[in-house]
Amino acid sequence: MRKFISGLFVLLALSLSAPAAFSQSEPVIKVGFAKCAHCTPMSLTPQYAKGVKIDAIAFNTGTDALTALVSKNIDVAQATYLHYAIALDKGFDVVAISGQVNGGSAMLVANDLAVTPNDWASLKKAIADFKAAGKPFRVAASRGNAQDIHMRGAFAKEGIDINKDVQFVNIPNPSDHLQALRRGEVELICTVEPFATQILQNKAAKLFGLPYDQAAGKLTNIILTRSDVVKDKPKQLEEVVRAVVKVGDFIAADKPALIDVISKITGLDKSVAAGAVDNLDPDPKLYRASARAIAVMMRDLKYINADVSAAVEKNMDYQFLEAVTGKPKTALGY
C-alpha cells in the first residue's frame, strides 16, 4: 500500500507538469506506462492512434501507473501480469484488454562461480558446495516483480527450494543489482532488461540463462483499464489497443527504432539498449492459462492473500483485440 500512496504523489507531480490540453476535436484518453525497457514503446502509441488523442504519461514504475489507474486519474495503464493479480487481490476494478511486450528477464551468476550457462546440474553443485562449506548461496531479485516470479518458478521446476536450499536477498531497485554483484553480496541475480545487459557489459557477472521454462512462461507486460472505461469509452479503448498492436509490429520489424526509444526514455547508453532488445518480445496477446498460473504462483508464494485465478480469467476482455486483429479470442491467447 505504501507504494500505491507513493504513486499518488508521483501522479500529482506529473499532473502539475502535464502539457497543455489536447484539441477538443478528438476525445482524449490517458495512458500510463513505466520507464522500463519493455514499457518505453508505449510512448509511441500517440503516433499510431486514429480518432482519439492518446496522452501517454511516463511513470517511474508500473505500480505508479496502476495506482493512477485505480484512482481514476488515467484511463489505461501498462503494468505487469503480477500487478494485475495484485490489483484483483486488493479488490480493485481492473480489466485486461491487451498484452504488450514479454521477456526481459535474465539470471546472472557471479564471475568466479564454476557454473556453466543453462546447466542446472552445475548450478545445483555450486549450491551444494556452498551448503557443505556452511555458507549461504545468496540469490537476489526485486521481490514481487516478474523476474522474481520467473526465477522462483524456474527454481521450483528444477527442484531447488528457494526457502531451504538458498538464501533469498530482496533488492527492490533493479538499478542496484549491478553494485550488489560487484560488491560480492550475492551469487545469483534474476534481473530485468536493460539492467541485465548493463551488468553483462560491465562484466560484473556472467549469464546463466533465461528463466522462461516454467508455468508463467515469459509473460511480463499487460494493458489494463477499468470496467467504467470499458462501458463509457469502448471506441477509444479499441483505438488504444490498435495503437499498441501497431507499435508492437513496428518495433518488432525495426530494432534500431526500439533502441532509440529505450535510450531516449531511460537515458541509458544505446549500446545497453541494443543488448536489451534481443530479450524483448512484442506480443499483444492475452495468455489466459499462463496468467492463471502466475496468480496461483503468487498465492503459493504468499505475495497475495486470495486465490484470484478465476478473477484473472474473468477480467480478461478480448473484444478489443478481436476487433483490431480480426481474429477470434481462441487465436489471441484465450
Query: Can you tell me the mean pLDDT for 11-19?
Result: 39
For residues 118 and 175, the answer to whether their CB atoms sit within 8 Å is no
At 24, the pLDDT band (50, 70, 90 cuts) reads low
Cβ(195)–Cβ(273) below 8 Å: no
For every residue of 153-221, DSSP letters joined together read HHHHHTT--TTTTSEEEE-S-GGGHHHHHHTT--SEEEEETTHHHHHHHTTSSEEEE---SSTTTT--E
280 within 8 A of 258, measured Cβ to Cβ: yes
Confidence grade of residue 8 (pLDDT, cut at 50, 70, 90): very low
pLDDT at residue 143, as a whole number: 86
Q: What is the mean pLDDT of residues 193-222?
A: 92
Residue 320: pLDDT above 90?
yes
Cell numbers linked to 169: 536477498
The whole-model pTM stands at 0.82
pLDDT of residue 21: 44
Is the alpha carbon torsion for 147, 325, 329, 243 positive or negative? positive
Most confident of 40-49, 69-78, 297-306: 69-78
With a pLDDT cut of 90, the percent of the chain lying above it is 69
In degrees and rounded to multiples of 5, residue 54 shows phi and psi of -90, 120
Return the DSSP state at 119.
-
Name the pairing type of β-strands 105-109 and 188-192.
antiparallel
| Grid coordinates of 305 | 492473500
Instruction: Yes or no: say if 58 and 35 are a contact pair by the CB < 8 Å rule.
Output: yes
- Averaged pLDDT score across all residues of the chain: 89
Q: Per-residue pLDDT tens for 64-103?
A: 999 999 999 999 999 999 899 999 999 999 999 999 999 9
What pLDDT is attached to residue 173? 86
Q: What pLDDT is recorded for position 333?
A: 95
- Asked, as a colleague might, if the bond just before 194 is cis with ω within 30 of 0, I would say yes
| Tens digit of each residue's pLDDT (9 = 90 or more) over 49-65 | 999 999 999 988 888 99
pLDDT for position 60: 82
Helices and strands, counts by H and E, the chain:
14, 12
The pLDDT value recorded for residue 10 is 41
Residue 74: the pLDDT is 98
Residue 35's pLDDT is what? 78
Across 295-313, average pLDDT: 91
- Could you write out the three-class secondary structure of 65-84? HHHHHHCCCCCEEEEEHHHH
Q: What is the pLDDT of residue 3?
A: 45
Cα separation, 33 vs 304, in Å, equals: 23
Instruction: Outline where DSSP puts E strands in 2-124.
Output: 28-34, 53-59, 76-80, 95-99, 101-103, 105-109
> Going by C-beta distance under 8 Å and a sequence separation of 6 or more, which residues neighbour residue 18?
55, 57
234-271 pLDDT per residue, tens: 999 999 999 999 999 998 888 888 888 888 887 878 88
